[in-house]
Amino acid sequence: MDVVADPLFWQSLMRTAIFFLLTVPAQIALGILIALFIEGLRWKPLSLLMRVILVLPIAITPTVVGLIGRLLFNRDFGFINYVLSLVNIPPVSWLGTPVPAMVTIALVDIWQWTPFVALVMLAGLTIIPYEVLEYGHLDAGYGWALFRHVQLPFLLPGLTAVLILRTADILKLFDMVFVLTRGGPGVSTELVSVYVQRVGFRVFDMGVASAQAILLLILCIVLSRTYIRLFYRQVEA
């Protein structure tokens, strides 16, 4: 009952949902666009180079990503505010104001995990049979019609995997957020994993923290089953 009646837990879960909506749709959209661009490249060495570049952000540990974010978004000497100053925009307190802080951790997460989505979508594009693609060109032409009717069905299994993996990752996301903002200012970026850590290791209420972690596991399982029903079975139909 302590978990269910804890308003701070539900508020942190709501902030996590907002973070999910800020990051995952953008990652999927950008990942698909990048995958389509790389798939369309005719010069193979450039295509291979792009694939290698996409791996680099994923290989960086979340703690280092948080440190990089602190340097980029620092109010006084950060690169982002330097670029804004070139067009006469005053410096923004990215990490010291609630809304910019949430936008900051979302942008950092998008930067790190969009390449992962792009690689998964690229794998889906490469398994499309040549005959199916040629028939699609004749029947649907190019552009949106080809993507909607020919390429998208082959991307749905990968999309399902991306949604499951990113949901689980966001529900347990701690390192990057803690290094970048420590959940602040106030509790504006205290995602549910950061709150569970605070309950367990600062308040030292391990029983409540364990119950909250189990609730997050159940939520992840329910959402994963929902994704499979909505997307993956649509491919089999």
Q: What is the mean pLDDT of residues 35-42?
A: 88
Q: What is the mean pLDDT of residues 126-140?
A: 77
Among 39-48, 131-140, 181-190, the minimum mean pLDDT is found in 131-140
Residue 71 lies in a domain: no
Task: Find out whether 170 and 20 touch, Cβ atoms under 8 Å.
Answer: yes
What is the reported pLDDT for 235? 46
Per residue in 185-212, pLDDT (tens digit) is: 999 999 999 999 999 888 888 888 999 9
Residue 103 lies in a domain: no
What is the reported pLDDT for 189? 95
Residue 101 lies in a domain: no
- The total of other beta-carbon atoms located within 10 Å of residue 3's CB is 17
Q: What is the mean pLDDT of residues 70-85?
A: 92
Task: Find out whether 154 and 125 touch, Cβ atoms under 8 Å.
Answer: yes
Among 3-17, 120-134, 140-154, 171-185, the minimum mean pLDDT is found in 140-154
Per residue in 142-186, pLDDT (tens digit) is: 777 788 888 888 899 999 999 999 999 999 999 999 999 999 899
What is the reported pLDDT for 140? 63
185 cis-preceded (ω within 30 degrees of 0): yes
Rounded to whole angstroms, the Cα distance separating 87 from 4 reads 49
For 90-116, the DSSP string reads PP--TTTSHHHHHHHHHHHHHHHHHHH
User: Does residue 138 register a pLDDT over 80?
Assistant: no
User: Does residue 237 register a pLDDT over 50?
Assistant: no
Q: Is the pTM of this model over 0.85?
A: yes
> Domain of 119?
7-59+113-236
Report the domain count for the chain. 1
**CATH number of the domain encompassing residue 176:** 1.10.3720.10
User: Does residue 4 register a pLDDT over 90?
Assistant: no
Residue 138 lies in a domain: yes
What is the reported pLDDT for 141? 65
Residue 73 lies in a domain: no
Residue 144 lies in a domain: yes
What is the reported pLDDT for 147? 84
Rounded to whole angstroms, the Cα distance separating 4 from 207 reads 13
Residue 178 lies in a domain: yes
> What is the b/e burial string over 134-153, where b = at least 16 CB atoms within 10 angstroms of the residue's CB?
eebeeebeeeeebbeebbee
Q: In the chain, pLDDT over 90 holds for what percent of residues?
A: 66
- Computed over every residue of the chain, the mean pLDDT equals 89
Q: What is the mean pLDDT of residues 25-34?
A: 96
Residue 105 lies in a domain: no
